[in-house]
Amino acid sequence: MKRPRKFVTSGGLGVMGFGLPGAIGAQFGKPDETVVLVTGDGSIQMTINELGTAAEQKLPLKIFVLNNNRLGMVRQLQEFYCDKRYIAVDFSFVPDFAGLAQVYGFKGFRVKTAEELEATLKEAFSFPGPVLVDCQVDPEENVMPMVLAGKDICDAIDNE
Ligand SMILES: Cc1ncc(C[n+]2csc(CCOP(=O)(O)OP(=O)(O)O)c2C)c(N)n1
């Protein structure tokens, strides 16, 4: 596969819900390219109705939902700054994203291990139509490196 050349983001705004409509726009702009969306389970639920737009417009998006059942970035901040006193970051319910995507006419997958992901990647990218892969991620997994508030970028912390 070719290396990705162009990335679309909501810029410094970091707006949840931008990803899916952003991917739809990118696919319209580059109809012959493979458009890949990597999104969180919280973020995609903010504009998940746009799966219908993608289906209606027959856009062959490849969507990967990093599904940690959490508003993970906020959970991570509460871990570091609030001594794990978590509030309003757990989803007691998230939909079956693979099943939901299938209802919208996507091919849906759910993966739990790196091996499953590797096999599914091949299927996802060889399939000509739209695909959504629900990637089950450890809810306590952190995004690193991280720069703590007030610290210099050189003092970024890593997993250890
Ligand atoms: C519209 C909007 N609301 C709230 C936020 C604040 N916010 C930043 S990250 C985040 C959690 C994102 O959760 P998810 O999309 O599941 O991704 P994760 O951090 O778990 O990878 C929130 C609530 C935001 N960036 N945009």
Give the pLDDT confidence score for residue 60 in this predicted structure: 98
Q: What is the dihedral of CA 40, 41, 42, 45, to 10 degrees?
A: 120
User: What is the model's pTM?
Assistant: 0.96
Distance from the alpha carbon of residue 85 to the mean position of ligand 1, in angstroms: 18
Domains contained in the chain, CATH given:
36-155 (3.40.50.970)
Atom 20 of ligand 1, residue of closest alpha carbon: 72
Give the pLDDT confidence score for residue 160 in this predicted structure: 63
124/62 Cα distance (integer angstroms): 7
Give the pLDDT confidence score for residue 24 in this predicted structure: 98
Which residues in 130-141 are b (16+ Cβ under 10 Å) and which e?
Answer: bbbbbbbbeeee
> Which residue among 43, 86, 87, 144 is best mutated to probe the pocket of ligand 1, counting the most ligand atoms within 8 A of its Cβ?
43
Give the pLDDT confidence score for residue 106 in this predicted structure: 97
Residues with CB under 6 A from ligand 1: 14-17, 40-43, 66, 68, 70-74
Low-confidence ranges of the chain (pLDDT < 50): none
Give the pLDDT confidence score for residue 40 in this predicted structure: 98
